[in-house]
Structure 1
């Protein structure tokens, strides 16, 4: 029997499960190569860590690896119930808090290598973490598709993963999440059918609806579905 040591955290309700002992030793000189090796040789490890009965569809796992760039303190490969992620905002925050819990870092700056590039974070007092993501940009704006009996107009943008972002008059409530999840999945299928992709043929696998904020200290409220079967992102960093 294999023993795996994990530590769970949450970022505004979205869980991160960090593998701190017992994980696979990955081959590769870059985090992209390590992620490919993880997928090729150790996918059963992924499913065992994040799927039922020990996990669930909202769980994001994080396997700590050696750093591959001189400025980084460690590397990390993120994964979830359907596969592997290039980067994860809430997961990066969870990793930093876990490293603090393990006394591997205090407050201050840390750099994590990810398959999409280095991510800098600063651990602040009172459990807060400031995150500097990989370079984000808009690829296309005013991108239209037809789904669910109406036209959707959105922006194709990159922030470690590929997003299609649509403005809505009112963001979904908690009770409406399943209806909007199905809507988002239909929009994603429409993007695929229209051949709308990210750079280098990348799949646009995150759909985000953005509406007015409900809190005075917020700029917007969003609803995000994640890759494939589309679990909803509970955290605001999507």
Structure 2
């Protein structure tokens, strides 16, 4: 007898499974919710996100916390589009919050939905529009021999809010941060000035410091998006370096957020924030190719492609290109006697 012969018994008694397709984008996981919750109502992605947060926050906790997930998991819910030209929408979530935007998860979603056949793509480049809580995002999926080889995404405009702001960090001392927004606010820290390289050997120290920087920045500084008053907190710390090698502009970064999570990928929003800051300091130019490496050594290809304004502030759109791979198909259930109804973090 196969042990899976009576698997349908798991789902009796109204215990409907939540189906996800997992992937990783240059090392960073995405858990894409594709079935089990039905349609998420709302005429905008913000309305959909608020509805999900109000009615399904326990699902976020189940999928992004132990014992089914961990602090390292970022999940995203596929929704119907809210703009006529978009193919679908995404609501992003992790073990702590609901980010308005996530680049690596968007790349992962495009690759996953192409694999399932939801997205019907042709050989060569394919343009896909995606609704997000930060606005509509353009993606381009590049198909070779029937398979998505890579995905480029055009991030929402990034802008530098302020620079050289000094904060006092508990247990460390004074740290200078630059404040950059790509969907949400980043505290950007130059690793050379800090004296700690953004490499795996320093992961534990930088993750701890990064979370303390987020707390200190929110206590000591004020941030408000010029046109989105609801975007008013620092949610991410990015430790970065930058330079040139063999004539190529490149650098490495370590991005910290959520429940003390280190992004395994180069981070899509983090890459956009970094390039906007480097441009602000005159260290890169528009349309200059840039390689941004993760702590694992994986890479996003990036460049600044257009300039715009957000309020009175200069803003820049970054094109980021990366790869993703599907890792598994999962059906999650919750027994009413399970003592961990909303998971836990240790």
**Would you call these one fold, judging by a TM-score over 0.5?**
yes
Alignment of 1:190-209 (within 5 A): 190-199=216-225, 200=229, 202-209=232-239
Deviates more, 1:19-28 or 1:115-124: 19-28
Partner in structure 2 of residue 140 of structure 1:
162
Map Cα deviations across residues 18-45 of structure 1 (whole Å, 9 max, x no partner): 1111124322111101111111111111
Residues 16 and 94 in structure 1, CA contact (< 8 A), matched pair in contact too? yes
What RMSD over aligned residues (CA atoms) do the two structures have, in Å? 1.9
Distance in 1, matches of 2:83 and 2:74, equals 24
Instruction: Determine if the alignment matches structure 1 residue 173 to structure 2 residue 199.
Output: yes
Contact 1:143–1:155 (Cα < 8 Å) also in 2: yes
Contact 1:214–1:221 (Cα < 8 Å) also in 2: no
Give 4+ residue runs of structure 1 displaced > 3 Å after superposition: 212-218
How many equivalent pairs are there? 237
Partner in structure 2 of residue 161 of structure 1: 184
2:95 aligned residue (74, 81, 85): 81
Residue 112 of structure 2: aligned partner? 98
- Residue in 2 that maps onto 1:184: 210
Matched, 1:58 2:72: yes
Per-residue deviation at 1:157? 0.9
- The structure with higher relative contact order (CA 8 Å, sep 6+) is 2
Secondary structure in 1 matching 2:261: coil
Choose 1 or 2 for highest CA Rg. 2
CA distance in 2, matches of 1:14, 1:213: 24
Q: Sort the Cα spacing of 1:72 and 1:78 in 2 relative to 1 into closer, same or farther, 3 A.
A: same
Q: Tell me, which stretches of 5 or more residues in structure 2 are unaligned?
A: 1-14, 271-346
Instruction: Compute the displacement of 1:233 (Å).
Output: 1.0
Secondary structure in 2 matching 1:209: strand
**Aligned 8 A contact 1:17 1:60 in 2:** yes
Residues 58 and 214 of structure 1, relative CA distance in 2, 3 Å threshold: farther
Q: Which runs of 5+ in 1 are unaligned?
A: none
Greater mean alpha carbon deviation, residues 61-70 or residues 100-109: 100-109
In 2, the alpha carbon distance for the partners of 1:149 and 1:54 equals: 34
Distance 1:24 1:213, change over 3 A: farther
Hey, what's the Cα distance between the residues in 2 that align with 1:207 and 1:5?
Answer: 32
Structure 1 residues 99 and 214, CA, compared in 2 at 3 Å: closer, same or farther? Answer: farther
Higher strand share: 2
Question: Superposed, which structure 2 residues align to 1:110-121 within 5 Å?
Answer: 110-121=128-139
